[in-house]
A and B are shown apart, each in its own frame.
Chain A
Amino acid sequence: MTLVPPPGLLAAALLFWGWRTGLWPLVPPMALVLELAPRVGWRWALEDRELARVIDLSTLLWVGALILLFIRYLNQPPLATHLYTLASWFPLLLFLPLAIQRYSAVGAFRVGHLFYSLRHSGSALAWQPLRLDTPYFVATLLAASVAASPDFLPGAGLLLLWALLATRPRRHRWLLTATLALAAGLAAFPLSLGLYRLQISLEDQFVEWFEDWFMEVDPYRSYTALGEIGELKQSGRVVLRLKPAPDDPGPWLLRDASYNSYFDGAWQAKGTRFDRLASRGDGREWTLGAAPAGVSRHLAITLELRRGAGMLPLPAGAWRLERLPVGELQLSNLGALKASDGPGLVDYRVTSTPAATRDAPPGELDLALPRREQATLERLATELGLIGSSPPIVAAKVKAFLLGQFRYSLELPAPAAGMTALETFLLQARAGHCEYFASAAVLLLRAAGVPARYATGFAVAEYSPLEDAYVARRRHAHAWALVWLDGRWRDFDATPPDWTGFEEARTPWWQRVGDLWAWLSHRFNRWRWRETTATESDNGWLWGLAGLLTLVLLWRLLLRRRVRPVPAGSVLAVTVEPGAESPFYQVIADLSAQAGARPSGETLEAWLRRIGAWNAPGLADMARWHQRWRFDPVGLVKEERQRLAKTVAAWRQQNSANGQR
């Protein structure tokens, strides 16, 4: 049973799609091409092999679209957005095979065209005809639904009603079909609203449940989630690249956030206020404060921004950023810099001067001690002789205490009974990772009356010869303290310096391969984002390729022989006989006029021999060429056809001359 949508339905569906997706300029030519097909009087005589090639070309278009969207996804996740884009292109991607189907003499593909495994199979499934009209209609409805604009349901309902009425079983009255379809359409309105609300309600419930169960058990993923150290520490993925000035030996601590309040294993940034910064010059230069006096250092940092937004890690004393093409930059009073509306990759230049500061001066919170650990911290401060010492001496004593009596460990032991995790670290375990050292340093400094903050970011010390740059991996995420000394905030890293060795020891053997892949991916991203945030222009080559392929197809189609379609019902299939245009038929006609027509059942050669024409000069050769044209799968090449035409012309001239004599 063949299923053909009624005239105008596909055009209406395309109009609906164009209106909703904004691709309406494409609709008139597409609709015209599809709807004019039944009215034109010719068809392309495409063979099975050529129809398969049309499917192949269409597959290429699909693959091209997928590659294009995958590239976009790499730079701008999430994947779902690009899948929706793909869905909105369905009518475009399916248009070519449908148009060819409508203008081909056969009028249908077959299932075998879709699958290589079935293409040369003789199975019944492979030869089952496949008309793309109905799937195209369904795909167009789906593509129209992807757009977020309202008023989808009435349009889709009407189109579906039209389709159902046109293809309804003839034993039922149209009124019954229309009533049932309308009832279904009307019921869909409240149900779709209900589904929408159900999802919102489920999401809220899930978030509540998730918070109840998971937020308590992970002490490093609370309010200081900007750092996300606890869980991701072991990953070797390169997250940023740094190129220093030649005279700058490093290492560098790049801070992306700082926090001022500690409670139960979690650091919070209380009283945080973000202020928007104004760009300067070409919109890519940003100043975090007034230009300070002193020698400036320069660093170039390359960083991937997920969805074009994220925290920018900066060295201490950073005051100016250049080549940073983001739409918005916000600076918090705790020195965190948040970028948004940017490209997927930024390569910015930072100028820093030790005297510069982007953090607010210390406040009460920078001296506060957590209630649970307060007694322990104060007792320890007294034991270490911190009370009453000057801030530089306090800092030195704290550093000596932590570096001398503690060791670095990546193991997370369970807190001792009656103690918090930090107390266990300070009094019993005396081993931990950088977050313990940083938290202990901050709180001991505070216990001694020196303002301090907790900072997170990256410690960059690994040089990559492959990239000719210093790289920071996820496992280089680090935590340290900020201490207020001599009227400015200074980095205070009390973690034993061999911590990087611990991390390196856990490097898996395949990291080299991963690094190579990361570098290639980075090079690709650099090329992808070579021009600020331009997105569409980079796809020019893909569109160019698609256009070229389409032109090739059009050229090949224009060269095709066209045939007139036979009225429906008169024949079942169109067959094209090879050699039908052979000029030897004229010779046969001449000989038939002279010696009587060839009876059916007698071969051409036998007939020519019987009437005595076989031995005439050149005639046997002509007959052989003629038969080869008709029956040899290769046929005759152009030169042979020309030679046959010439020989036939000469023979006919000679024959007519003989006749006149």
Chain B
Amino acid sequence: MRPLFRLYRGVHRLSHGLRRRLTPLGGWLLGGWVAAGAFGINTRVGMTYQLFVLLTVVFAVALVASRFGGLPVAASRRLPRFATVGQPLRYRLHLCNHGIEMQRDLTAFDELREAPPVPTLPQRFPTYRQWSRQMARARGANGETQPLPALPPGAVTDAELTLTPLRRGWLEFAALRIGRPEPLGLLRRLFRQPLTDRLLVLPRRYPMPPLHFRDGRRYQRGGIHLAQSVGEEDEFVGLREYRPGDPPRRIHWRSFAKRGEPIVKEFQDEFFVRHGLLLDHCATDADDARFETAVSAAASIATAERGPEALLDLLFVGDRAYCFTAGRGLGQTEPLLEVLACVTPRRDQPFSGLLALLAGHAPALSACVCILLDWDAERRQLLDLLRGHGVATVALVIGPPSAPPPPSVRVATAETLAAELARLTP
């Protein structure tokens, strides 16, 4: 680790450790202790050194006093299934006091596990603030020390804790720390309860108008097996005479018995509305922020209203090409959001993988929303491919792009994404 980061880590640990362990009065008195140490460096001038000694002894007594006694409180978390980036997550902490004493003035905070690997910073010499923000993102959430209610002996109660997720993906809880102040009210002793939990944080989403494309239904190749569940209601068209090559399982036995010659059931080909949502995986710069914005855009579009009849295919390239479908009984939007919560940019996979994936899907699509991370010849080719199949296409480039796209392609940044999505229409 670079010495600068080592220094930042040391400062961070010290400041966080102090903030967790000191009460407000303790914090101010510690500041006074430092100032008294500076002003009292020369004991011949003034009596500040006496204040320094007094505060030193008071803190020493507080430190010793805080070591006595245990905390007979058991806790467990009641977490929801999902949280959303930037939205405060409120969850309940189930507390039980097994002791014979009233427990007051307790505080609690969650210890989060850092997500491996630690993300790299784009700056060579980041400031402490930038570094600190990045580390908070790596941990996944910003949680402050929060007060707990008074717990009479034997009491079982619930407390509400708040946490603000800062990134999507899994949020790993390593432990719960409960702080209890000592008799002087300067320090808190922290009791660690190894409560491990995990929670999926979904991408940030923005409100969007409904996406109703004008293009109609398309023949779904291989749609027979889908037709049972998602095809048209009247897929059974009628009966006809047997032709060589008809599968025997289509023989209508009752008619066969009545007519004395084989009669088979005839089915209509499957046509229905299928939308594509294509997420570009080839980030051009080292900064992941652009990809995060793209994922937010994809999540917003995935949750936008698209009519009860439409299917939505989420197309992207991870370690291989993926297509997840939702709608019409095949799955709801929720699994798509779960997928989007965990998707990562792949710089090692070429953009051509996405082209190949789309080439297979394009004939089945009625419309497609493409979320691109840049604008170049390959991406132009992708849009041409879609339009060549007559697929109504909306393209949104998360900018700024390296080349100016045509006017039909929209450009959005992290700041303008909400506005761009709000006016995104087919």
**Docked pose: A134 CA to B32 CA in angstroms:** 10
Among B46, B56, B101, contact of A145 (Cβ-Cβ < 8 Å): B46
Given contacts A84-B39, A141-B32, A142-B32, whether A168 and B184 have CB atoms under 8 Å apart is yes
Looking at B24, B29, B49, B51, which has the most chain A CB atoms within 10 Å of its CB?
B51
Q: Which of A178-201 contact B (CB under 8 A)?
A: 180-181, 183-185, 187-188, 191-192, 195-196, 199-200
Contact assessment for A169 and B46 in the assembled complex, using a CB-CB cutoff below 8 Å: no
Collect the chain A residues with CB atoms within 8 Å of residue B345's CB: none
Q: Are B183 and A188 in contact (CB under 8 A)?
A: no
Give chain B nearest CB distance to A204 CB in angstroms.
13
Q: Which of B32, B142, B185, B186 contacts A138 (CB 8 A)?
A: B32
Contact A181 B184 (CB under 8 A): yes
The answer to whether A188 touches B42 (Cβ under 8 A) is: no
B58 within 8 A of A: yes
Q: Which of B31, B45, B46, B184 contacts A164 (CB 8 A)?
A: B184
Q: How far is the CB of A201 from chain B (nearest CB, A)?
A: 11
The segment from B77-85, B102-110, B252-260, B331-339 found at the interface with A is B102-110
Question: Are A195 and B184 also in contact (CB < 8 A) when A3-B25, A141-B32, A145-B51 are?
Answer: no
Could you tell me which residues of chain B, from 56 to 104, have a CB within 8 Å of some CB in chain A?
A: 56-58, 60-62, 65, 101-104
Option from A148, A156, A180 in Cβ contact (under 8 Å) with B184: A180
Known: A87-B39, A177-B183, A184-B54. A195 touches B49 (CB 8 A): yes
A170 close to chain B: CB less than 8 A? yes
Name the residue in A153, A169, A170, A180 with the highest tally of chain B Cβ atoms < 10 Å from its Cβ. Answer: A169
| A170 to B106 Cα, complex, angstroms | 11
A80 at the interface (CB under 8 A from B): yes
B190 in the interface (beta carbon within 8 A): no
A135 surroundings in chain B (CB, below 8 A): 28, 31
Which residues of chain A come closer than 8 Å to B54, judged between CB atoms?
A: 153, 156-157, 160, 184-185, 188, 192
Contact call A145/B36, Cβ cutoff below 8 A: yes
B43 at the interface (CB under 8 A from A): yes
Interface size on B, residues (CB 8 A): 45
Binary interface encoding of chain B residues 174-186 relative to chain A, with 1 for a CB under 8 A from any of its CBs, else 0: 0000000111111
Q: Give A138 to B29 CA distance when docked, in angstroms.
A: 7
Cross-chain contact of A146 among B44, B46, B62, B144 (Cβ < 8 A): B46
Of all chain B residues, which has the CB nearest A168?
A: B185
With A145-B36, A145-B51 as contacts: A171 and B25 at CB distance below 8 Å: no
Q: Convert B350-372 into 0s and 1s, putting 1 for each residue whose CB lies closer than 8 angstroms to a CB of A.
A: 00000000000000000000000
The closest CB in chain A to the CB of B144 belongs to A124
Q: How far is the CA of A145 from the CA of B53 in the complex (A)?
A: 12
Query: B40 within 8 Å of A by Cβ?
Result: yes
* Chain B residue contacts of A160, Cβ below 8 A: 54, 58
| Residues in A133-179 with C-beta less than 8 Å from chain B | 134-135, 137-139, 141-142, 145-150, 152-153, 156-157, 160, 163-164, 167-172, 176-177
Q: Does A616 contact B (CB under 8 A)?
A: no
Cα A156 to Cα B32 with chains together (Å): 13
Contacts of B62 in A (CB 8 A): 180
Q: How far is the CB of B29 from chain A (nearest CB, A)?
A: 6
- Chain A residues lying within 8 Å of B393, measured Cβ to Cβ, are none
Write out the residue numbers on chain A whose beta carbons fall within 8 Å of the beta carbon of B103.
171
Check if B11 is an interface residue, CB within 8 A of chain A: no
| Chain B residues closer than 8 Å to A84, beta-carbon distance | 39, 45-46
Within residues 103 to 156 of chain A, which ones have a CB less than 8 A from any CB in chain B? 124, 134-135, 137-139, 141-142, 145-150, 152-153, 156
Q: Nearest chain A CB to B397's CB is how many angstroms away?
A: 28
Q: Are A145's CB and B47's CB within 8 A?
A: yes
Give the shortest distance, in Å, between A142 (CB) and chain B (any CB): 6
From A139, which residue of chain B is reached at the shortest CB distance? B32
Known A153-B50, A168-B185, A171-B103; judge A138-B28 contact (CB<8 A): yes
The chain B residue with its CB closest to the CB of A137 is B28
Docked CA distance A147–B40 (Å)? 11
Nearest A residue to B186, CB-CB = A164
| Bound CA–CA A170/B42 (angstroms) | 39
B35 lies within 8 A of chain A by Cβ: yes
The chain A residue sitting closest to B46, CB to CB, is A146
Q: How far is the CA of A164 from the CA of B59 in the complex (A)?
A: 12
Contact of A148 among B47, B58, B101 (CB under 8 A): B47
- Can you offer 29 A-B residue contacts whose CB atoms are under 8 A? A2-B24, A3-B24, A80-B45, A83-B39, A135-B28, A138-B31, A142-B36, A145-B36, A145-B48, A145-B51, A148-B46, A149-B47, A153-B54, A156-B50, A156-B54, A160-B54, A164-B186, A167-B185, A171-B102, A176-B183, A180-B62, A180-B65, A184-B57, A184-B61, A188-B54, A191-B56, A191-B57, A192-B50, A200-B43
Q: Could you tell me which B residues sit within 8 Å of A by CB distance?
A: 23-25, 28-29, 31-32, 35-36, 39-40, 42-54, 56-58, 60-62, 65, 101-105, 142, 144, 147, 181-186
Lowest 3 CB-CB distances: which A-B pairs, in order? A152-B47, A138-B32, A192-B53
